[in-house]
Structure 1
Amino acid sequence: MSALAITWGAGPASAIAYGEDVPDGDYPFSVRLAMTGLPAAGGGTRDSSCSGALVAPAWVITAGHCFRDEDGTHVSRTVARRTTATVGRTDLDGGGGHEIEVVEVHQADGADVALARLADPVADVEPLRIATAAPRPGERVRLTGYGRTERTGEENAGRLQTGSFTVGAVGETLTEFSGRAPRRDTSACRHDSGGPYFRERSGGPELVAVVSTGPGCPHPGADLGARTDTLRGWITATVNGRSDPLDGLSATLGGLLVLLLVAPPAAYAVLRRQRHARHRS
């Protein structure tokens, strides 16, 4: 297993570049998080957005850096004046689905993952299951997101986008994902942060990671996703109202142990690459 380490301060991800439109009704667990009135550097406010997935009727999983203060510190609270989750709506200009305010945020310790609680539960969308098995090198997974595309320039995609990806190196907290289809340079883009990488199984899809960071899009080669199978206990506890911060800490310590003892050259290479990467929000 390759060791990948998280470096906060790497840049965010956006909508899927060189992806394809999702047919109406597919992947209804996909979520767009719209942040209105974020504090801006130098005063004033700005708007932004992230992607995510419904993992329980009232809970959305996304990237931890989607909730950060002016200093870039991940925080367990909403930061914008208003954060709204759009759930179960393939076309953002269409009808159907739900628009619900986010009222609570929990950050995972040592991983670029957060859980956002909705003001009201969603009863008509089946949540995305959390995988119990780690992603495997060479495995094929799918990504959905509402970020920018190669066609939209500075504007986000108005319709949910998707693409197929291949798993590369798998670390304790991070995993590499490279574009496979519709093109080899299909890649996560700005505002795809938190978008779900998931297996498609006969028994239903299951989440393996969320978009964390990567180079500018579009590009061939890997983006980094934050693993979720290692956080299954923390996710379950948080959703059930008994979050234990030691769950996330144990994953962090395990990752550091691998970083220091198992494959330091590979880990350091990833650290260098991440300094030039950008978050996807």
Structure 2
Amino acid sequence: MTAGHCFHDGDRNRVGGVPRYGTTARLGTANTADPAAGVTRSVVWVEQSGTTDIAVTQLDAPVDGVTPLALNTQKPVRGQILTFAGWGATSSTGSWSDQLYWGQVKVAGVRPSTVQVVGHWPAPDTSACPYDSGAPYFMPRTGSAPLLVSVESDGPACPHSSQETTARVDPIVGWVRGVVTDLPPA
């Protein structure tokens, strides 16, 4: 699962099906500088949500040893703390990062298909940056897989202390389970 806008045509319109350009997913590592770390898979198919900026992708081969996040089925609550992780830049003018970064945000607002979040930890300007689109926002749970609440969609130049827009997962859980029929229960 990632941001729907990551898959687009030449006019930046979201598209599904076979990706228009080669796309890979790197799983099972926090540092991509080591080419032997983790697993790399090609994205071979994309399904776009019709109601939010989320796409579900099919990879060219299964991935063993990586537990997927459980899908949140409850409406997020204002003040709730979420963790996010991303491979994006660390500034508005930076490039991709080889190192996975993470931080915490607080839910500032909930709309029908989005969640607005603001920085919480380690600083009030903790935020997503360029190339973080699709980054997961999740709630850790003791003894269970974390719950995926939303994915990165859009925000101001980073770092910033303004609201960041993320795409909610809970309204589309039924659609996701219809596309990915072998997901484990929450």
TM range (shorter): over 0.9
Amino acid at match of 1:216: A
2:110 maps to 1:170 = yes
2:72 maps to 1:119 = no
Q: Answer whether contact 2:137 2:148 (CA < 8 A) is retained.
A: yes
Partner of 2:163: 222
Q: 1:180 aligns with which of 116, 120, 135?
A: 120
Determine the C-alpha separation between the residues in 2 that align with 1:126 and 1:204. Answer: 7
For CA contacts below 8 A with separation 6 or more, give which structure has more relative contact order: 1
Q: 2:72 aligns with which of 131, 143, 148?
A: 131
Task: Tell me the TM-score normalised to structure 2 length.
Answer: 0.92
Partner of 1:237: 178
1:231 Cα deviation from its structure 2 partner: 0.7
Q: State how 1:1-281 maps to structure 2 within 5 Å.
A: 61-77=1-17, 78-80=19-21, 82-94=22-34, 95-150=36-91, 153-202=93-142, 203-240=144-181
Amino acid at match of 1:158: D
Determine the C-alpha separation between the residues in 2 that align with 1:154 and 1:199. Answer: 28
1:153 Cα deviation from its structure 2 partner: 4.4
Amino acid at match of 1:110: T
Name the structure with the higher helix share: 1
Identity across aligned pairs (percent)?
37
Determine the C-alpha separation between the residues in 1 that align with 2:78 and 2:44. Answer: 37
Aligned length: 179
1:154 Cα deviation from its structure 2 partner: 2.8
Give the gaps of 5 or more residues in structure 1. Answer: 1-60, 242-281
CA-to-partner distance for each residue in 1:139-175, whole Å, 9 max, x for gaps? 000000000003x943211100001000011011011
Determine the C-alpha separation between the residues in 2 that align with 1:232 and 1:204. Answer: 16
CA-to-partner distance for each residue in 1:105-159, whole Å, 9 max, x for gaps? 0000021000010010111111111011111100000000000003x94321110
CA-to-partner distance for each residue in 1:76-133, whole Å, 9 max, x for gaps? 03121x1111111111012321001110000000210000100101111111110111
Determine the C-alpha separation between the residues in 2 that align with 1:189 and 1:79. Answer: 24
Determine the C-alpha separation between the residues in 2 that align with 1:124 and 1:228. Answer: 24
Q: Secondary structure at the match of 1:200?
A: strand
Q: Secondary structure at the match of 1:102?
A: strand
C-alpha RMSD of matched pairs (Å):
1.3
Deviating above 6 A after TM superposition, structure 1's stretches of 4 or more consecutive aligned residues are: none
Give the gaps of 5 or more residues in structure 2. Answer: none
Task: Tell me the TM-score normalised to structure 1 length.
Answer: 0.62
